[in-house]
Every structure is written in structure tokens, then in C-alpha cells.
Amino acid sequence: MSEWWRGAVTYQVYPRSFQDTNGDGIGDLPGITARLPYLAELGVDAVWLSPVFKSPMKDMGYDVSDYIDIDPVFGSLADFDALIARAHELGLKVIIDQVLSHSSDQHPFFAESRASRDNPRADWYVWADPRHDGTPPTNWLSVFGGPGWTWDGRRRQFYMHNFLSSQPDLNYHNPAVQDWALSVLRFWLERGVDGFRFDTVNYYFHDLKLRDNPADWRDLSTPADNPYDMQYHLFDKNRPENLAWLARIRTLLDEYGAMSVGEVGETHHAIEMMGKYSAPGHLHQCYSFEMLGRSYTPDFFRSRIEGFFSAAPQAWPMWAFANHDVPRQVTRWLPHAASPEALAKQAGALLLAFEGSICLWQGEEIGQTDTQLSYEELTDPQGIAFWPAPVGRDNTRTPMVWDDSANGGFTTGTPWLPVKAPQLARNVASQERHQGSVLESYRQMLQFRRGEDDLIHGKTRFLETPDPVLGFVRGEAGRGGILCLFNLGPDAVTLDLAAEGAQIGPAQEFAPDRSQIRLGPNGFGFLRLSAPVGG
């Protein structure tokens, strides 16, 4: 069975914001299909589509009301089939989001479940009686603020929701729910998708004893921006029953030769959980939010990569620096930058040199930055609930900027989120074929990675280098491999490092000689070693 996904690079498309073809200001499937040649030329292996299923859009498609149809705002099943066909013509795989831990409250199953306590789907969602004082059955919280329970007057019970109250959690302790979820996956596999990205993959099961979560054991001297982060989430997610369910998913995927990647939403043991969930017989790979924060130091990156492979040597990670849920990488890491462009190019090269599979968020390849939005411009329920901090998710979800025309070539109508001048200045057309641009740097790095087996399959050995330099060798033990060096700071540094080898691949502010290597601000470079280097 092909393991094309191992070491592959996936590009995340946010369908609402990629390309609009009908002038309604919202991106659509025909728009994505029209732009697939751009992605093929960029040099990625696969495209991940965020949800395009029927939805009331309370959480921009992550609240699904029909799992086997396309929402009209994005197009039709015929448009989806055309996208799959065109992607395969161009040699691109297609991965689609699956939001299976919860549904929309507009889903027919929830309407049936809430109608009574004894109907055929009464146990398809997580229901519980109130405490004797009328309060919710546990102290579990919603990621989006407030209790993780909502009262329903029909059943005179609370229902659980890890997110919006309009996103009730499905009950995976019920085998019928698992069977239904597998039927959804089979529907899309039969239509030719190459795999799935599983949303909130550690949220499927809850504690049947309904035990309260303890307080976070870490020292919180001041309250967190979001009270959800003040609990240690032992009982509302991360349950051991999850592993057997993931094994059922893997069995189905193996029938079709399809792949999977799970999103681990966890702040305590994310790396450990990534390893458990992507161990043989479970998901093919997992990613977490570990590298989507503000840390940009050699020790941080080294600890995450070494931590994963030492704890789970048979498992496989997917690394990402950004996605639709967090501020863009250039915005987050600007304090470490000589310039936004230098940082954008370095971050791309750094990520694409890591051992594992890689996911790129749309727009990072042009060095895009977060859009500053007013409260009145927000659509994201999380951003609205916690305004003005933490920053919501709309800032990173603004439309892809293709050129410097009105609305960046995204739409002829009014875009669902604005395209503002700082974002308009970073567009594809102005960087296309422009040597030294962020876009061309990404293309070169993607081509370099694809052509070097050491960067796809080689093991990682970190070197002892002074801050802020991150140094590691990719390759097999006992031979040279590829030396990868990154100055993660805005000032030039010189390394006393004897490395016998030839410079290869993209570089920025990189000057090696026999005994020293100079790395300029946010400099990086690669050497093909003729002999192992000390570290």
C-alpha cells in the first residue's frame, strides 16, 4: 500500500476565502478548481479543504447539518466531483475535513434526539440530568465560553457541547453513532477523496461517570484569557476509549488506501497524544497546536521534534506553523524578525526541513499577515465572545490575495471579510517569477524538499549550537546527510563549525567556509555533508 502521505506537503484551503466565481463574496468549489494549477506549480502534494458541507454556518461550516451534501454557498456535489477530477489530473491528492465529534443543532438527528428520552436516536447525543440544585451535571466548559452544557426544555436535561451551544456533541459510546460516522467516510471515499483531516480528534468520548475536571495543575498567577484553559481536561475529552474508535477508522481507510490526519486540540500532553493517536493501527498522522504559538527558539523546536520521536518512534507527525484557528506566523513571530519578508522565507524553509509531514496554511507562501479588524467586522463566534482578547480567528481567515486589484482578485462582489491595504500589498501576482520573493522562496524550498530523500525520510540529529541558531542533520546515521542551519534571530551570528560539504538548496544570508559559517539576520542554508559533522 502506498505511503505517499509520509513526508508529503499538504496545503490547507479555506474555501470561503480562496476564490469566488459567482460574485457573492464567498469562495466556492469552482473557484478552488480554477486555482488548482497554482497549487500544483507551487509544488505541494495534497490539498486539504476545510468543511464544505451543508451548514447553518454558525461556526463557518464546523457545524454540519448534512454530512453527505455540499452547502449551496460553495456549489454542488457535481462541482465537488469536478474538483476531485481536476486535482487528480494535476497530480494532487484531496483531503477533506470531517467534523464528527459534534453536529449542528439543525441536523435531523439532533431534532429527533431532543424530542424525547425514548426515541431511536435519544442516545445519539450526550444528555444528562441536572444536579439537585438545577446546575449543569459537571463543571465542564465550552471552548467558546461559558458552561459546556445547555438546558433543553423538551427532555428536561442538559446536552453537552464542547463548542457552541448550536454544536451538540455526538455520543460515541453508542456503537450506532460510530457505524453512522463510518458510513459518512465511506460516502466520500467512494467519491474519490484521498483522505480526511479529522477535526478535534481527541474530543469524541466523554467520561460516562460525569466527573468534574480538576483545576489546571500548572501555576496560573492570573486568570487565563479563556477560562477553558484553567481546567485540566481529563474527563470531557482525551478519554482512553478514543484509541479503539481510531482503529475502526483506520480499518476502513485501509480498504481504500486513504490517509488520515487528526487535529489534537490539547495544551497539556499534545506531543504524547499525537504519538498515541498516530501509532501503527490508528491514524496515519496527527498534528497539534504546539508549533502554532509564539515560541520561536531552537530549544522549543528541538524539544517538540525530539519529544515526539523519542516517545513514539513508530508514529508519524504532521507539523504546521499556522492554520485557520491562529494568528499568522509572520504576525506571531515578528519580534524575532529582521523584516517580515526575511522571517516569512525562513519560517517556510524551517518547516519544510522538518522530519514528518508538513501542512501549509493558505497565504503563508506570500508572507501574508493578520488583518486588523474592528469588532463590527467580526464573524467568528470565538472572536466576538472574547473581544478584545484573545484575538479571534477572522484575522487569519481573510481572503487570499491574488493581485493588487479591488479585493485582491478574490471576488467581484463584497468579500465576506475585508481585504485591507496591508494584505493587498502581499499578493501572488507581484511575487510571481520575482527572484527573492517569498513566493519564489517557497517554490524553491518545496522543489528542494521533494528532490531530496533525506528531507522526506531521513532521521534528525540535532547539533549543539549557540542561541539563536538551530542546527540539525537530516539523513541516515553513519553518513553525511544534509546539514540544516537557521539563525532564528534578527542579528547576524558566526558559527565555529567545521562542516565538509557543498552548499545546496535555497539560502538566505548564508556564508559557509572551511571553519566558520556566517548566518545573517534570519539567515538559513543547507550543506550536503561528505562526512558526519560533530555536534
Rounded-to-integer distance, Cα 455 and Cα 464, Å? 20
Lowest mean pLDDT across 3-12, 72-81, 524-533:
524-533
Domain boundary among 425, 441, 471: 425
Q: pLDDT (tens digit, 9 = 90+) per residue, 172-206?
A: 999 999 999 999 999 999 999 999 999 999 999 99
Mean pLDDT, all residues of the chain: 96
Whether residue 374 is found in the same domain as residue 508? no
> Quick check: is 124 in a domain?
no
Q: pLDDT (tens digit, 9 = 90+) per residue, 468-523?
A: 999 999 998 777 899 999 999 999 999 998 778 899 999 999 999 878 999 999 99
Whether residue 419 is found in the same domain as residue 465? no
Whether residue 414 is found in the same domain as residue 508? no
> Quick check: is 135 in a domain?
no
Whether residue 338 is found in the same domain as residue 385? yes
The beta strand positions in 441-515, using DSSP E, are 459-462, 469-475, 482-487, 493-496, 501-512
> Quick check: is 112 in a domain?
no
Q: pLDDT (tens digit, 9 = 90+) per residue, 345-404?
A: 999 999 999 999 999 999 999 999 999 999 999 999 999 999 998 778 999 999 999 999
Rounded-to-integer distance, Cα 83 and Cα 69, Å? 15
> Quick check: is 50 in a domain?
yes
Q: Is 41 a catalytic residue?
A: no
Whether residue 318 is found in the same domain as residue 369? yes
CATH number at residue 504: 2.60.40.1180
Whether residue 282 is found in the same domain as residue 361? yes
> Quick check: is 260 in a domain?
yes
Under the banding of pLDDT at 50, 70 and 90, the label for residue 532 is confident
Of 199, 263, 365, 452, the active-site residue reads 199
> Quick check: is 52 in a domain?
yes
Of 190, 255, 496, 513, the active-site residue reads 255
CATH number at residue 247: 3.20.20.80
Domain boundary among 403, 425, 447: 425
Q: What is the pLDDT of residue 391?
A: 79
Q: What is the mean pLDDT of residues 221-241?
A: 93
Domain boundary among 425, 446, 476: 425
Name residues whose C-beta falls within 8 Å of residue 175's C-beta, 6 or more positions apart in sequence. Answer: none
Rounded-to-integer distance, Cα 178 and Cα 22, Å? 38
Give me the domain span that covers residue 97: 9-103+174-425
Under the banding of pLDDT at 50, 70 and 90, the label for residue 1 is low
Whether residue 513 is found in the same domain as residue 392? no
Residue whose C-alpha cell is 538551530: 470
The count of structural domains within the chain is: 2
Q: pLDDT (tens digit, 9 = 90+) per residue, 258-312?
A: 999 999 999 999 999 999 999 999 999 999 999 999 999 999 999 999 999 999 9
pLDDT above 90: residue 137: yes
Whether residue 414 is found in the same domain as residue 469? no
Q: Which helix (H) or strand (E) holds 273?
A: helix 270-277
Q: Is 255 a catalytic residue?
A: yes
Under the banding of pLDDT at 50, 70 and 90, the label for residue 113 is very high
Whether residue 383 is found in the same domain as residue 473? no
Q: Note the helical H segments in 322-470.
A: 329-332, 340-352, 381-386, 394-397, 421-424, 428-431, 438-451, 453-457
Q: pLDDT (tens digit, 9 = 90+) per residue, 441-483?
A: 999 999 999 999 999 999 999 999 999 999 999 998 777 899 9
Whether residue 342 is found in the same domain as residue 465? no
pLDDT above 60: residue 535: no
Rounded-to-integer distance, Cα 393 and Cα 384, Å? 10
> Quick check: is 242 in a domain?
yes
φ, ψ dihedrals at 26, nearest 5°: -120, 130
- Look up the pTM and report it: 0.97
> Quick check: is 436 in a domain?
no
Whether residue 386 is found in the same domain as residue 469? no
Q: What is the pLDDT of residue 534?
A: 61
Whether residue 418 is found in the same domain as residue 505? no
